[in-house]
Amino acid sequence: MDAYSQMIIDAVAQVKNAVVKIDVYKTVQGKLRPAGSGSGFIFSSDGMIFTNNHVVNGAEKIMVSLLNENEIEATLIGKDPDTDLAILKIYSEGYSVSKLGNAEALQIGQLVIAIGNPLGYQHTVTTGVVSALGRTLRSQNGMLVDNVIQSDAALNPGNSGGPMITTDGEVVGVNTAIIQGAQGLSFSVGINTAKEVASQLIKNGKVFKAYLGFQLQEVSINSKVKHHYHLANEKGLFVVNVEENSPASRSQVKAGDIIISFNNKPVQTLHQLFKELTRKEILTMIDISVIRHAELLNVGIFPIQRQSL
């Protein structure tokens, strides 16, 4: 067998027993009926499962099917519509635990593998490459999800919530969305962000995240600008768009600026910004440094608490 195929087979073998099919049920005309399905993966030895919020939202009963065809009712631990993530828990045996990797180490062009249950076809494997990193995606509830991985691995309805893995068999993303009408555009929430969300959901049952209203993209900083201002940053956050009636719209930051510092700390990745926004002390006037047309500007912004839906 060729080396490429063997590499994918070996990677899938490490994760496949941790990938699950999720079926949800809702009451229709007085009876509990099937209301959709999706994917998920077990990430802890005590049966914690990552999936998407939109897969389980509104479900009255959630059933999880393992690769060995065992079907177990799951408990919803918590969900976060803003990142489209949810955590389930099962009490069972006969599964393995996926190994969580580091999405920050991904590179554009790197081979990735998606595993899920598209259209009910259990444990379907697709491959692709990382097309872009550090993207902001608008989720199904209209909120902006930061630190999204874009790939061309084929995703279909039912893939939602499944793992995106590397050829080492490590999970680097939670598959979350496809763009309707487009081909080769699939998105996954980076596993570093997912781990932060999981920590809060397991501990508190909900996620605190301050809201800014920027649509951002990680970009490299021009070397001349970097040296001129003696910046520690290699990268910054390019402001693609500013949401109306948001803290961002009330600040002096404009589309086209590159954010290089937030709360007096250098910021190079969306994950670094996400971590800052999960601290409750952040709800005060915060200093931001931006580069605008090679000029360094210092401005203020007042993050607000995002209201849960």
CA 233 to chain centre: 24
10 is catalytic: no
DSSP the chain: --HHHHHHHHHHHHHGGGEEEEEEEEEETTEEEEEEEEEEEE-STT-EEEE-HHHHTT-SEEEEE-TT--EEE-EEEEEETTTTEEEEE----S---PEE--GGG--TT-EEEEEE-GGG-TTEEEEEEEEEEEEEEE-TTSPEEEEEEEE-S---TT-TTPEEE-TTSEEEEEEEEE-TT-SS-EEEEEHHHHHHHHHHHHHHSS---EE--EEEEEEEPPHHHHHHTT---SEEEEEEEE-TTSTTTTSS--TT-EEEEETTEE--SHHHHHHHHT-GGGSS-EEEEEEETTEEEEEEE--EEPPP-
Among candidate residues 98, 131, 151, 160, the one labeled active-site is 160
Among candidate residues 54, 80, 186, 257, the one labeled active-site is 54
**Residue 217's CB: how many other CB atoms inside 10 A?**
17
2 is catalytic: no
Among candidate residues 23, 84, 146, 257, the one labeled active-site is 84
Distance CA 93, CA 222 (A): 53
C-alpha Rg value of the chain to the nearest Å: 20
**Residue 205's CB: how many other CB atoms inside 10 A?**
12
168 is catalytic: no
Distance CA 160, CA 166 (A): 18
Positions marked catalytic: 54, 84, 160
